[in-house]
Structures are given as C-alpha cells and as structure tokens.
Amino acid sequence: MVLIKFFLLFSLMTFTFSCAKVSYLWNQGLGQLTLFRKGVKNEVLLQRNDIPEEVKSKIRKIEELKKHFYKYWTMEPTGIYSETTLLGRDAVTYLVIASPFDTIKARENCFPFMGCFPYLGFFSEEQAKSHQLELEEGPWVTYRRPVYAYSTLGYFEDNILSSFFHYDEFGLTELIFHELFHTLFFIDDEVDLNESLANFFAREMALEFYLWSPKQKASKEAREDKLNALNELIVDKAKVLQDNYKKKAFNEKKVANAYLNFFLENEFKPAIAKKCQKLELKTCYPLKREWNNASFAAFLTYEKEGAKIKELFTHVGQDLKGFFHYIKAQYETYEEEDPEGSFTKFLMRPLVI
C-alpha cells in the first residue's frame, strides 16, 4: 500500500515539478520508503533477545503514549507507530534553512499538493551539506540541524524511529504528542502556527499525563516558565536585529555578516547571559547554539506564535479539549468567511480587538 501511494504521488509530481524538485522528491521518497522497508513490527522486536531492554522500554512507552493520545481525543487508533525502524545513526534527517543575508525570513520551498515549507529536509547528511554550500554561494545565509523525528501528516502510517530514543522520558512524551497532533490538526502553508500549536498541546498533554505531586508539577511548570521567558527574549532580540537590517539596508553579504557578528557579540549574547543568570538557569542553551538569520528564522518557526497561543488559551477560558474544539470551530468559520486569508491572523483576532 505504501509503495502504491508513493508511486501515484510521484507520477503526479513529474508533470508539475522542475527537474531539480523531481530529483529532490525522488530522493526523499526513496529515503522514506527505506524507513518503511526496514521497519519491524513492534511485537516482533519486543520478543528478540538481541534488542537491548532500554530500546524495548522506549517502544513500550511510545505504544502507551499513542494509546493515551487517541483515548484522550476519543479517536480510533491508526496504524501509526506499529513498527519500529532501527536507523543505525543518530538523526533521521537533516534540515537546511536559508534566509537572505539582509533579513530574517526563511526561504520558502513550495510543492503542489503539499504546500510551502520554510526548510528542506534530507535523509543524507552529505546531500544536506551539498545543498547548503550551493545556497551559500548566493545571497543566502544557511543553518543545518539534525532532526530526530517528523510526521508525514497522515499521508503514511509512520514508524517509530530509533532516533526518538535520543530524548528523555518527558521529552519523548512531548515528542510523540507533538507528532501525533500534526495528524490531528494541520493547516496548509501555516507552518509557524502548526508547530506552535503542536508544541503547546504536546506540552500541556505531557504535563497532564504524569500524575506528579503538586510540588513536582509546580517545579516542572516553573522551569517551563523560565525557558519561555528566555525564548521570548530571543524573539525580541530577533525583532531588534530585523529592524536594524531595515534601517541599515545592507547591499553586500560580507558587510551584513560583519554587522550580524557585531550584534551577536555586543547585544544578543550579553542580554542572554544576563537573562539566564537572573532566571538562575544552570544551562544557558542559547549561548551554545549557532545564530544567524537562518537559525533565527528556524527558531521563530517554532516559537513565534507560542506566547500568543498560551494567551488565547487563557482568553478562551476552557480546558485543553475545549480549547481544541474552539480552534476547530474557528477554522470552519474561517473557511466560510475568509479562506484566502491567514488562519493565524483569523484565530488570533480576539487578542487584537
């Protein structure tokens, strides 16, 4: 069934895409098929003596999380995560994000039938590096990062990937709920909103899932609040950098890069270090990360709407399930009233009225 779906999609694509995109999609399709072909049914892996108990424990945990997710949303379980693919490497794919040298805006990659995405993913790290170098020869600044999980958004029944095991228990719980949420609700061409919604619902569901004592839950929420405060500062500083780019109107990539380095060393990093110290964070993760226009754009994809969604959740005043049904109802209204507009703006309008 997977093979039939893939070749039907590919046959349609060859009539509508450029040669470069056909080549890219063909390689991606083959990579995806390899993941499926190497998949082994969970019940088989769990019976094998050569599989470490730590791996078996993670598989059982994911099955438990999947069961909880579908029960929580009163849906019939699908075949997703019924098989496991052992990759033999840490990451499953590698994302390449590009942004112009004089602005923070992810380069969009658009595909008929599937919409637009602010990145390209590669199963081969060498192909990702090659694409990155090609972009760097032009007016683009790039950022490459490993990816440990992704969703095919219901096009296929995804496998558990051994790269999932990179996460600790709570991180794995958020990950599974995040990816499953994409199969529950996904809006074409609104990547920022999709990722922010999945982050929000995954985090809230994970906090509900673990029956911690009030003290444990308060401690976890306090840490989440600290990280959110730190992330909000990164968003604010990205906006400052963006405004400065507009004011200075750089014409040369070399000059813009020099200014970026000046901004990072003299404004961004000192502000981040001060914030981490104030929040009493033992690990100040932004200081260990590579920052440029592309990595800022990638960060904004996942964090840009996060604070607004939390504010909207408070504004709506319902529990998590009620909030989800509110979002679905708003989307139905949006499709009737303004299907050509932005659903993000439509959804957030109570916050600006």
Q: How far is CA 5 from CA 20, 122, 210, 242, in A?
A: 22, 20, 38, 42
Per residue in 97-147, pLDDT (tens digit) is 999 999 999 998 887 666 778 889 999 999 999 999 999 999 999 999 999
Provide the residue type at 316 as one letter.
Answer: V
Do residues 30 and 174 both lie within one domain?
A: yes
Note whether 238 and 263 are within 8 A (CB): no
- Domain assignment present for 263: no
For residue 181, give its domain range.
2-186
Per residue in 64-94, pLDDT (tens digit) is 999 999 999 999 988 999 999 999 889 999 9
pLDDT at residue 224, as a whole number: 83
Which among 142, 169, 186 is the end of a domain? 186
Share of the chain above pLDDT 70, in %: 92
Looking at per-residue pLDDT, the higher value among 237 and 338 belongs to 237
Q: What is the domain count for the chain?
A: 2
Note whether 176 and 62 are within 8 A (CB): yes
254, two tokens: 């070399």
Over 70: is that where the pLDDT of 345 sits?
yes
- Domain assignment present for 247: no
- Supply the DSSP string of 176-187, one letter for each residue: HHHHHHHHH---
Dihedral angle over CA of 212, 214, 219, 222, nearest 10: 120
- Domain assignment present for 19: yes
Do residues 311 and 164 both lie within one domain?
A: no
Q: Region 281-291: what's the mean pLDDT? A: 94
Over 50: is that where the pLDDT of 2 sits?
no
Dihedral angle over CA of 84, 86, 87, 88, nearest 10: 170
Do residues 32 and 180 both lie within one domain?
A: yes
Which among 186, 214, 231 is the end of a domain? 186
How many Å is the Cα radius of gyration of the chain? 21
pLDDT at residue 8, as a whole number: 40
Note whether 42 and 158 are within 8 A (CB): no
Per residue in 9-42, pLDDT (tens digit) is 444 444 444 455 667 777 777 888 888 899 999 9
pLDDT at residue 22, as a whole number: 65
- Domain assignment present for 68: yes
In sequence order, the 6+-apart residues with CB closer than 8 A to the CB of 133 are none
pLDDT at residue 82, as a whole number: 96
Altogether, the residues listed in the chain come to a count of 353
Provide the pLDDT confidence category of residue 249 given band limits of 50, 70 and 90: very high
Q: What is the mean pLDDT of the chain?
A: 88
Using a 10 angstrom Cβ sphere, with 0-12 exposed, 13-18 middle and 19 or more buried, the burial of residue 147 is middle
- Domain assignment present for 325: yes
Per residue in 297-341, pLDDT (tens digit) is 999 877 767 778 989 999 999 999 999 999 999 999 999 988 888
44, two tokens: 């088989």
- Domain assignment present for 205: no
Helices marked H in the chain: 2-13, 19-37, 42-45, 53-72, 125-136, 169-184, 191-209, 214-248, 253-263, 269-279, 293-303, 306-316, 320-337, 343-348
Note whether 294 and 99 are within 8 A (CB): yes
* Residue in this structure with the two tokens 């590669």, named with its chain if needed: 122
CA gap 69, 201 in Å, rounded: 11
CA gap 232, 239 in Å, rounded: 11
Q: How far is CA 169 from CA 54, 91, 165, in A?
A: 12, 18, 9
